[in-house]
Structure 1
């Protein structure tokens, strides 16, 4: 491999003490970027190895989704031998990621501050449900609980229906992304200081942070947000509509797009209607406009509306199923389905890497590991390591 072709995090060693989703997603991102990720698992393995069905040749699809580009070692952290191996890996590592409940590692005899004293360049990151401090810091926090407790469910779902969760574990996933971002910043800071540091991140804080414009609207007005289903609270029309044969998605982001939309669908009169000329007008008269558009769109198939509206350079698209997305030509063209050889599954298809580097490419170098697959290999490396 040439120097130019080395991945961005080539040479970075990550000690991964996390399990389930937020932590493993973070460390998978680091692994995709080239880091050597050592995943420490208890004798029974990461819980998600048993989450299913579906399973393929005994392997959980859930576990396979977020654990590529890692090596697995089995250690019992309740034993001194297990803790000592962790200390020895931490002494070499650049990054340590964990998502135990606050205080758990210290009670086990693996205090993160002590590990950083032994290795001042070590960057440690703790992911918790609610944060390391505060009145709820000791509570456990799966994604679903934080979607509820963090306000996301209150703004998700139909206006007259119950609060609903998002279809994927979006709080876990975005926490993993935020954690990876913070770790990359800490690596950059270490170039200047020569020292690592500790990063504290939680599912709750991540969820609150990306309430974004919804939180901002409440903070500046004091008015609680409400649910809009597939519509947008401050942009109209920006929702799904039912065509003659099924739904499609339409997103009119500005008044110029509105003018083009009206011409494209054969309703120039709507663009001239004083109730709908500007976006604030359309928001104020949402119900009247949506009713007019809904009636009009039922007259033709979704593909016809998409063709006409897209030709007018207005954002529009089909409502696809997951299989339709994963088999689409665009997803394939962008390399978003990767195939790797797995020791028990054989040819394994995985979702690909979303970022494409021009000079230091990320890649899928390893399949998700079997439980303890690399225990002997890693212990041999530790035995040979000379500080």
Structure 2
């Protein structure tokens, strides 16, 4: 018989979420599957998502924080995004392109969330958010250190009324230290962490990565830390404060580049698409595009198969025009079966034309209340026990304000109307 972390058997159709913060119950639905031989068996006893029943209060904006909370939402958490009335998340205006009135940027990292528009500078607004924190499992924020303390929403203040709270702070440089007062931006953190120094052509200037990798890495670290905090709470019954920041995330991701310096004093440099230790392990221009060859090991038979007459050409691939003599598809055909890893350098259009991308569920479509049918990148991870196949679209600013105040906090209509009249909160009516 299956048992929970306390050793109790899992009985009936309900399971106690164990820790004090998981006092709510979640219904579990059995699912009967069949194997290829037609023999029925219960492979997924329950289709509960990992974070069903977990409430997340999202006080983040831009990318790192929203990316983290979106992943938590993908895993089943009930995410309530707190936004500024009238303005909302900064990225709502980051375009073009826009899909209807929403920027594609905002749409990309805000699915599976509700939005409430609250003026945190109004004491009544801060009080409202404090009440939400009291009944939440997780709070994620990316304010400058000390800003939320000024509003009565810092970790120490909230932990007194919500000791179960996993409070995750995302900043540029950390909660303490000589640079902790500085705001965090992906490009600046990427530069300060050395990432930009090692990115770009060999003889060229430092280059910003084409996507905000520092923000995204920080979001992944934050999401993982929140999950660890929830697991720790099952053991201790108490929440925790998580200090997550852009600088630490990117420096930690320097990996072997950092180890090369720390252990051998070796300063890194830019290699373009090449590898500092392996040749060939880089991109090459073909007749109609680009190709990456990652030949960690290569032998004479492989050279013959590829019609490469001289082994020295392997070392000097970069300096000749051999790859430019044939289109990418022909080189992929020649490399097939040789044991030499290779692949095309795809445009974004080619990426989403790749049947493997579609097969992996990386194109997620949904109906947005004002933008119509939209498509965004889907979750990178899939589970055997459930599917992320019922996403809710990114919300309009304040789309769920009244719903959350009434259904989650139990406010009366009179109180809600007073908050609306004083502009402490706003509601965006969506038809």
Aligned: 1:329 with 2:355: yes
Aligned: 1:2 with 2:29: yes
Report the counterpart of residue 190 of structure 1 in structure 2: 233
Task: Answer 1 or 2: higher relative contact order, Cα 8 Å, separation at least 6.
Answer: 1
Cα drift, residue 150 of structure 1: 1.1
Aligned: 1:138 with 2:181: yes
Q: State the alpha-carbon separation in 2 of the partners of residues 186 and 305 from structure 1.
A: 48
Out of 164, 181, 185, the residue aligned to residue 207 of structure 2 is 164
Gap runs ≥5 in structure 2? 1-27, 31-45, 412-431
Report the counterpart of residue 81 of structure 1 in structure 2: 124
Q: State the alpha-carbon separation in 2 of the partners of residues 317 and 138 from structure 1.
A: 44
Out of 300, 308, 311, the residue aligned to residue 337 of structure 2 is 311
Out of 400, 406, 410, the residue aligned to residue 380 of structure 1 is 406
Cα drift, residue 259 of structure 1: 5.0
Q: State the alpha-carbon separation in 2 of the partners of residues 264 and 189 from structure 1.
A: 55
When structure 1 is superposed on structure 2, of 176-185 and 212-221 the one drifting more is 212-221
The answer on whether the counterparts of 2:149 and 2:157 sit within 8 Å (CA) in structure 1 is no
TM-score of the pair, normalised by structure 1: 0.91
In the superposition, relative to structure 1, how do residues 126 and 383 fare at CA in structure 2: closer, same or farther (>3 Å)? closer
Partner-residue secondary structure (3-state), 2:116: strand
Cα drift, residue 15 of structure 1: 0.4
Q: State the alpha-carbon separation in 2 of the partners of residues 192 and 363 from structure 1.
A: 32
- Paired residue total: 368
The answer on whether the counterparts of 2:286 and 2:325 sit within 8 Å (CA) in structure 1 is yes
Report the counterpart of residue 279 of structure 1 in structure 2: none
Report the counterpart of residue 77 of structure 2 in structure 1: 35
Q: Following superposition of structure 1 onto structure 2, how do residues 1-387 of structure 1 map, counting pairs within 5 Å?
A: 2=29, 4-43=46-85, 44-253=87-296, 255=297, 257-258=298-299, 261-267=302-308, 269-270=310-311, 286=315, 288=316, 290-291=318-319, 294-384=320-410
Q: State the alpha-carbon separation in 2 of the partners of residues 339 and 147 from structure 1.
A: 31
Cα drift, residue 268 of structure 1: 6.5
Q: State the alpha-carbon separation in 2 of the partners of residues 368 and 289 from structure 1.
A: 47
TM-score of the pair, normalised by structure 2: 0.82
The answer on whether the counterparts of 1:353 and 1:363 sit within 8 Å (CA) in structure 2 is no
Partner-residue secondary structure (3-state), 1:147: helix
Q: State the alpha-carbon separation in 2 of the partners of residues 84 and 360 from structure 1.
A: 37
Deviation digits for residues 9-33 of structure 1, max 9, x if unmatched? 1000000001110000000000000
Deviation digits for residues 158-212 of structure 1, max 9, x if unmatched? 1111100000011001100010011111111111111110000100000100000
Q: State the alpha-carbon separation in 1 of the partners of residues 166 and 207 from structure 2.
A: 37
Partner-residue secondary structure (3-state), 2:375: strand
Q: State the alpha-carbon separation in 2 of the partners of residues 50 and 309 from structure 1.
A: 45
When structure 1 is superposed on structure 2, of 321-330 and 192-201 the one drifting more is 321-330
Gap runs ≥5 in structure 1? 277-281
Deviation digits for residues 299-355 of structure 1, max 9, x if unmatched? 322211111112213211111110111122121122111111110111111111111
Cα drift, residue 118 of structure 1: 1.0
Q: State the alpha-carbon separation in 1 of the partners of residues 170 and 126 from structure 2.
A: 20
The answer on whether the counterparts of 2:132 and 2:409 sit within 8 Å (CA) in structure 1 is no
The answer on whether the counterparts of 1:155 and 1:228 sit within 8 Å (CA) in structure 2 is yes
> What value does the CA root-mean-square deviation take over the aligned residues?
1.7
